[in-house]
């Protein structure tokens, strides 16, 4: 497909000559013959990349490190998957997110809607292949936008039609649990269960024994007390074991920025968590706040603790701002190399102490 894109100046496959777009055998055979050398070169590149990835993963494993990856929820319409497997997609409908507390108009991602009935007829063979590949690349992988595996929000291109597929809640639960059970066959799965999700999602993940996320700033209850609304943060020490403890995601601002944005009153609500009571709610973020927040996450009941690099350092960069398109999104890079980090004795010892005292380091007593 790459060769055809280059020949067609990167036009969408739907704009290619009709026989190629429809994948007619004679047209495919002719294109394969015409681009024989280019196809061989791309095949060699992919083979070499796979060999290098396996070698890198083996080298990391020898140091006690494994790799975690991401299984994107859906693929682009102008992709090899859709070009080849278009019967598995409803191309007239676009995937997105429904209106919610974060975006009153919802989101239109411009991605094609899965045809779940067509996928089920092949026992979800395409999904199985994706899961199998992820399991070969990573020790564990995150299923992006996991609620989309249960129900997918869509709208038509003109915006007149919208809804969920499937539309019935029982069917949604059956679909999601079927797909996640398939994915769990091929590797260790983490479910990205954040945002405005239905009440059935977390109980479903619990039944499947799959960990979802617990983000400190969002694990709270708003309750009326003494005539006003107050926030009560849930103690990380009481979070479920089958979960992932974290301070934020690629879509949130850094923990330092979030904390400085809290009023002294709301910092006081946070300080009710055991281990945070010593915080001065009238002062902003500093190294003491950084380490106190990290410590309650390291010492959470969650089996796994995954933390953004920025929050480990107390930095303020944000990876992505949802709903925006600009040159800064997804450009974040660590401000130091791994060698520089290893040479930073103060930081290394601080992080090692957090890991050992919480018994998250492999050799912790």
pLDDT digits 0-9 by tens, 58-69: 999 998 889 999
Number of domains in the chain: 2
Distance CA 31, CA 203 (A): 50
Structural domain contains residue 137? yes
Domain co-membership, 44 together with 74: no
Task: Note whether 67 and 60 are within 8 A (CB).
Answer: yes
Q: What is the pLDDT of residue 204?
A: 98
pLDDT for 9: 55
- Quote the mean pLDDT of the chain: 93
Phi, psi for 73 (deg, rounded to 5): -60, -45
Cβ distance 101 to 171 under 8 Å? no
Which pLDDT tens digit goes with each residue over 118-173? 999 999 999 999 999 999 999 999 999 999 999 999 999 888 899 999 999 999 99
Which residues are CB-contacts of 232 (< 8 A; sequence separation ≥ 6)? 220, 221, 222, 223, 269, 272
Domain membership of residue 328 (yes or no) is no
- Same domain, yes or no: 201 and 73: yes
Please give the backbone phi and psi of residue 275, each rounded to the nearest 5 degrees, phi first: 100, -10
* Domain presence at residue 228: no
pTM of the model: 0.89
Instruction: Check residue 363 and give its pLDDT.
Output: 65
> Can you tell me the mean pLDDT for 326-354?
92
pLDDT of residue 45: 96
CA distance 327 to 342: 30
Give the list of residues 6+ apart from residue 273 with CB closer than 8 angstroms, or none.
233, 235, 236, 296
Q: pLDDT, tens digit, for every residue of 83-132?
A: 999 999 999 999 998 887 767 788 888 999 999 999 999 999 999 999 99
CB atoms within 10 A of CB 340: 11
Assess whether 41 and 101 both reside in one domain. no
Can you give the pLDDT at residue 255? Answer: 98
Residue 41 has which token pair? 């070169």
Residues 54 and 122 in one domain: no
Whether the pLDDT of residue 77 is over 90: the answer is yes
Domain that holds residue 169: 66-209
Same domain, 28 and 39: yes
**Whole-angstrom Cα distance, residue 95 to residue 154?**
4
Boundary-marking domain end, from 46, 63, 80: 63
The pLDDT confidence band at residue 222, using thresholds 50, 70 and 90, is confident
Q: Give the lowest-confidence range in 150-164, 204-218, 277-291, 350-364.
A: 350-364
Residue 194 lies in a domain: yes
- pLDDT of 365 > 60? The answer is no
CA dihedral of residues 298, 306, 174, 199 (deg, nearest 10)? 60
DSSP label at residue 236: G
Using left for φ > 0, alpha for ψ between -120 and 50, and beta otherwise, residue 23 falls in left
Of 209, 240, 264, which residue constitutes the final position of a domain? 209
Terminal alpha carbon distance of the chain: 54
pLDDT value for 364: 55
Asked whether residue 241 is domain-assigned, the answer is no
Indicate whether 59 and 188 sit together in one domain: no
Q: Are residues 104 and 198 in the same domain?
A: yes
Identify the pLDDT of residue 286: 97
Do 176 and 45 belong together in one domain? no
Single residue among 176, 209, 242 that ends a domain in this structure = 209
């Amino acid at each position: 497909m790459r060769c055809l894109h280059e020949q067609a100046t990167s036009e969408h496959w739907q704009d290619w000559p009709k026989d190629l777009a429809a994948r007619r055998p004679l047209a495919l055979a002719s294109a394969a013959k015409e681009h024989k050398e280019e196809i061989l070169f791309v095949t060699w590149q992919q083979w070499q990349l796979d060999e290098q990835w396996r070698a890198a993963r083996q080298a990391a494993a020898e140091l006690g490190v494994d790799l975690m990856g991401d299984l994107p929820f859906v693929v682009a319409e102008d992709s090899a998957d859709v070009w080849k497997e278009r019967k598995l997609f409803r191309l007239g409908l676009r995937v997105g997110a429904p209106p919610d507390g974060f975006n009153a108009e919802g989101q239109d991602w411009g991605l094609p809607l899965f045809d779940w009935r067509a996928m089920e007829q092949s026992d979800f063979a395409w999904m199985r292949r994706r899961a199998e590949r992820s399991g070969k690349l990573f020790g564990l992988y995150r299923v992006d936008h996991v609620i989309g595996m249960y129900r997918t929000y869509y709208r038509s291109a003109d915006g007149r039609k919208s809804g969920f597929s499937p539309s019935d809640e029982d069917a949604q639960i059956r679909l999601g649990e079927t797909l996640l059970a398939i994915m769990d066959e091929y590797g260790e799965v983490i479910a990205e269960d954040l945002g405005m999700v239905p009440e059935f999602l977390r109980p479903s993940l619990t039944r499947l024994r799959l960990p979802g996320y617990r983000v400190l700033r969002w694990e709270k209850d708003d309750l009326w007390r003494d005539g006003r609304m107050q926030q009560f943060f849930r103690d990380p020490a009481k979070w479920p074991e089958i979960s992932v403890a974290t301070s934020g995601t690629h879509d949130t601002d850094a923990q330092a920025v979030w904390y400085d944005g809290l009023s002294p009153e709301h910092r006081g609500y946070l300080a009710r968590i055991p281990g945070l009571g010593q915080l001065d709610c009238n002062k902003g973020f500093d190294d003491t706040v950084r380490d106190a927040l990290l410590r309650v996450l390291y010492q959470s009941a969650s089996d796994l603790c995954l933390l953004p690099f920025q929050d480990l350092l107390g930095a303020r960069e944000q990876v992505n701002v949802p709903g925006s398109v600009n040159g800064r999104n997804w450009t974040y890079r660590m401000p130091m190399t791994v060698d520089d980090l290893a040479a930073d004795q103060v930081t290394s010892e601080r992080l090692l102490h957090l890991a050992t005292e919480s018994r998250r380091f492999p050799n912790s007593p």
